[in-house]
A and B are shown apart, each in its own frame.
Chain A
Amino acid sequence: MTAAIELRGVGRRFGSVTALEQVSLAVAPGEFFALLGPSGSGKTTCLRLIAGFDRPTQGSVLLDGEDVTATPPFERNVNTVFQDYALFPHMSVADNVAYGLKVRGVPATARRRSALEVLGLVQLEELADRRPGQLSGGQKQRVALARALINRPKVLLLDEPLGALDLRLREEMQTELKTLQHRLGITFVYVTHDQGEALSMADRIAVFREGRIEQLDAPRVLYVRPRTAFVARFVGSANVVEAHVAARLTGEARPFAIRPELIEVLVPAQPVRAGAITCEGRLEDVQYHGAASRWHVRIDAGPVLTAARPESEPAGQMPAAGDRVLLAWSPESAVPLVEGPPIP
């Protein structure tokens, strides 16, 4: 099967700054593909190269098997939902949505019909004659989505589309986007810095760091088997234990990651399951997070480890800040890490 999008050894330099280096990936048709990373990691640059707003300084971009590296954006069958929505303020909602048809010479009545149809997809038909300035953030977001869908693109690019919305609306839109993607069968490329968003929506995630892909895997794999310390910390904020500390804890000088929810917190005298890895330390503080609390423990071997405990535990038996505690986890929970960026 031909990949919907393929990047072959793509790089982008801005003067002496390398925004993207040797990025290769292939997105399957109909896939929900997330580009995840902190700001400045190259994920948006990558999206702009696919859209055609920018050209790579090396490598090539293929859409549906065809090399489009030098093709301008208006000749690519790809549409974009912008972070700031980029709605045209002097046009009505319907005219904004119909813009892609207008520039293709579709007559006005047919344009309007299609625009209303697509607005129906995002449940906004009744706002067709408003101006963008009269809409709320969530409504603007839907209009931007409808506008990008009107040309029936094979690939939809979304640049932090929910970044400006509040939490409740964001969760609602996540579900809606995912449903829409299934229904239309369009390939989605979704840029985000929110690991929760990427984990819950994407089929596969490429984690970007300093212009390179650090790991490309399905969400579950990424979460359970991070390959590097960066991925372990960024996706699900795992504890990363450096090689010299690991040597003191397990006898093996290899860094590993351990999820906060897999660490048990015990009082020193409590019995420990056989085979478990243990270390003693002092409880520094407890952060309340609603469903769970995060316990920060400075272990005797040096670093602070975070353990997540459910809130349901009875308060009376809980150690207080400053108390000695024992941390324990089973050896299988620890994920060995490779040092530095992996070699592709």
Chain B
Amino acid sequence: MRSDRDWNRPSTGARIAAFAGLAFLHLPVWVILLYAFTTEDRTYQFPPPGLTLHWFAVAFAREDIWAALRLSLAVATVATAMALVLGTLAAFALARSRFRGREAVTLLFVLPIALPGIITGIALLSAFKLGGIQPGFWTIVTGHATFCIVIVYNNVIARLRRLPQSWIEASMDLGADGAQTFRYVLLPQIATALLAGGMLAFALSFDEIIVTLFTAGHERTLPIWFFNELFRPRERPITNVVAVTVVLVTLVPILLAYRLTRPGTTEPNL
């Protein structure tokens, strides 16, 4: 028996379990990637009979894909912008003030992200119907904003709570009014939180489908395009091509957000 075993090292069993877990999470994505290049267009036959870039050309030429992609990007952009403004305002309102029912308001605010998307979707759909609003671009944006705001809010309020009250007081003491204090002292401090929250919100909006199904009307965002493709199994590799593109588009902001909020990089020189 070795008595000098390093107890900080995980056992072989734990290592295998960890790699199995990671494989389970990531292999399906690699399958999608692989079958974006297959020459077989109907079945997932393994190994693929041949590899081709043909489907990228086909997908590139399809106007319906481009329309869906443009709509999804537009929705994500507008929903994120709304979330940045409203989420930041809400975070400022709730970070420092104390009033009756503050906890309740906080809970109500965070609820949309905990609520099943299907409930949010049905609720918004009935609300739009009651208000006589035609579903379309703006109803999708509104639906997405409900959870995008929470993402931004959570990021910003976490940062605000770490800022000492004395920074705001010092700024005011030196002659800065509220707007100047926000611009010169608070904004630089919450900038990375805003960026991270915004990117996360963008990524969430970009691939959202449940709420979108209820609020989209006749519009087709990219996830809805996918959903429809499933019922028409023609040219299956095209779906995979688009899926790979979506993975890449959402991966970039999520990785950036992760880097920006990692401890140690958020407060340089504090």
Contacts and interface: CB of A to CB of B under 8 A. Distances in A.
A88 to B, nearest CB: 6
Given A74-B175, A90-B189, A82 B184 contact: no
Contact of B269 (A73, A99, A133): A133
Interface in B253-270: 267-270
B164 A84 contact: yes
B170 A82 contact: yes
B174 A79 contact: yes
A133 B270 CA distance: 5
A73 B165 CA distance: 14
Nearest to B170: A86
Contacts of B124: none
Binding site of B, secondary structure by majority: helix, strand, loop or mixed?
helix
Given A84-B164, A88-B167, A89-B267, A100 B188 contact: no
A200 to B, nearest CB: 26
Given A84-B166, A88-B185, A90-B188, A73 B270 contact: no
Contact of B184 (A51, A72, A103, A147): A103
A80 B175 contact: no
A147 B175 CA distance: 12
Residue among A90, A104, A147 with most chain B CB within 10 A: A90
B229 interface: no
A53 interface: yes
B113 interface: no
Interface residues of B, number: 21
Interface string B155-169: 000000000101101
A80 B169 contact: yes
Given A73-B169, A80-B170, A99 B164 contact: no
Contacts, number: 75
A73 B184 contact: no
Interface in A60-88: 72-74, 78-80, 82-84, 86-88
Interface in B94-134: none
A2 interface: no
B4 interface: no
Interface string B138-180: 0000000000000000000000000010110111111111001
Nearest to A77: B175
Contacts of B184: 88, 99, 102-103
A51 B267 CA distance: 29
A84 B163 CA distance: 12
Residue among A99, A132, A147, A151 with most chain B CB within 10 A: A99
A79 B173 contact: yes
A35 B65 CA distance: 72
A84 B166 CA distance: 8
A282 interface: no
Given A103-B180, A132-B269, A133-B269, A74 B189 contact: no
A99 to B, nearest CB: 5
A80 B173 contact: yes
A74 B269 contact: no
Interface string A77-117: 01110111011111000000001101110000000000000
A94 to B, nearest CB: 14
27 contacts: A51-B169, A52-B173, A53-B169, A72-B172, A74-B172, A74-B173, A74-B174, A74-B176, A79-B174, A80-B170, A82-B169, A84-B164, A86-B164, A86-B166, A86-B167, A88-B171, A89-B270, A90-B188, A99-B171, A100-B174, A100-B175, A103-B174, A103-B180, A104-B175, A131-B269, A148-B173, A151-B174
Closest 3 CB pairs of A and B: A133-B269, A86-B166, A100-B174
Interface of A: 51-53, 72-74, 78-80, 82-84, 86-90, 99-100, 102-104, 131-134, 147-148, 150-151
Given A53-B172, A73-B173, A90-B188, 19 more contacts: A53-B173, A73-B169, A74-B172, A74-B175, A74-B176, A79-B174, A86-B166, A86-B167, A86-B170, A90-B269, A99-B171, A99-B174, A99-B176, A103-B174, A103-B175, A134-B269, A148-B173, A150-B174, A151-B175
